[in-house]
Structures are given as structure tokens and as C-alpha cells.
A and B are shown apart, each in its own frame.
Chain A
Amino acid sequence: DADVTQTPRNRITKTGKRIMLECSQTKGHDRMYWYRQDPGLGLRLIYYSFDVKDINKGEISDGYSVSRQAQAKFSLSLESAIPNQTALYFCATSDFRDSQETQYFGPGTRLLVL
């Protein structure tokens, strides 16, 4: 779904560097999420935001921070990257209509930390 975009799509960085992954959406959703995907572990929630003033830690927030700059933008930062943060990162948005929740995912950012 092209309404959720992530930049960059691929990134190689070195241990100790600070990097930012960006997510933008044009779906008008209030809720946004960051997940990481690792083989054999599935997707795990890093942070989520239910509106611009709301930021919450997920299952694995250590080593990460986020910023919700606007309804449409939700950025994930690695303050000091380490090799075990090498993963595929997904942003998602969701709406909650008729008591049903559906999440829409971005294409993913593949991060390699050397």
C-alpha cells in the first residue's frame, strides 16, 4: 500500500552511529507503529503512538527512540547502533472503524549494522 512509505529502504551503518528511519503516511490514521522483523522471531513491537501527543514503548524499546512529528510522520532513531539491531524494520498505521482494527504496513527498511 503506497500510502505508507519508509525511507531509506536499505541502510548500512557502523556500530556507534546514530541513524534515523522515517515513516510517512497519507492515510490520515492517528495510530502508528514501529516493528522489527527477525528470522524465527516474527515481528516485535518497538514503539507505538495513538496520536501526535502519545508515545508508548513496545515490547523491545531499549536502544531505540521515536518522534511523532505530525499525524503523518513517525520516526525511529537508533542513538548508538549495535550489530544486534540488524533487522528489517516495518512501520505501520491503523484505523479503528466499526470496532475493528486493521494495520497497514510500509515496505520495510533493511538495516545492517557492522
Chain B
Amino acid sequence: AQRVTQPEKLLSVFKGAPVELKCNYSYSGSPELFWYVQYSRQRLQLLLRHISRESIKGFTADLNKGETSFHLKKPFAQEEDSAMYYCALIDGTSYGKLTFGQGTILTVHP
């Protein structure tokens, strides 16, 4: 069975510092990976997916199949980035079923 692990429950950085939220997965096939974000008092929403290879709000994430990782990075954190971040995976055989990691609360201090 697939599994998604986010080793950090809490992550604090100062504004302008680089930030990396770690995500590791276990899955034998070719997964599709996502980052979802939940800002305070807002709904959980898609931030980015690995297939798109896009940068959203300055965040990027690269799928590393060798290390089975999909870390989320931003070179210069902003206070408005403070939120709960979830890494998630869809496997190729049960399309639509997302497996979420435990989540990381990012706090960006002024």
C-alpha cells in the first residue's frame, strides 16, 4: 500500500529565508504527487502537482524517484505562506483516491 510521510509537523522560518517542506512516499509504481495547502480559515486547496512542473506562489517541487521524495521549496518565504501543507499521492491503479501525509504547519515569522 502507498504511504506518504511528512517528517516535520512544525516548521518555522523567518521572512525572506528559504523553506523546504519534506515529503517522502512509498509506492512501487508511478505515482502522481501533489501539494495541497490550507491557509487559516480557508479550505484545503491544490497548490501544485508534479506533472505540471509549475511554480505556484514561488513554490516548486521536484519529483525524485530515486529518493522517492517530492519536497516543496521556496527560496524566499513570505508571511502569507504560513499555513498547513499536505503532500498527497494518487496511484495509477485507483485513480481519484488521494493518500495524504500527516501535514506540516509552516510558520513564517516577520
Contacts and interface: CB of A to CB of B under 8 A. Distances in A.
Contacts, number: 54
Interface of A is mostly: strand
Interface residues of B, number: 23
Given A42-B102, A42-B103, A101-B32, A107 B43 contact: yes
B43 A106 contact: yes
A41 B3 CA distance: 12
A42 B98 contact: no
Interface in A79-112: 90, 92, 94, 96, 100-108
Interface of B: 4, 6, 9, 32, 36, 43-46, 49, 51-52, 86, 90, 95-103
8 contacts: A1-B43, A33-B98, A42-B6, A42-B100, A42-B102, A58-B97, A103-B36, A104-B45
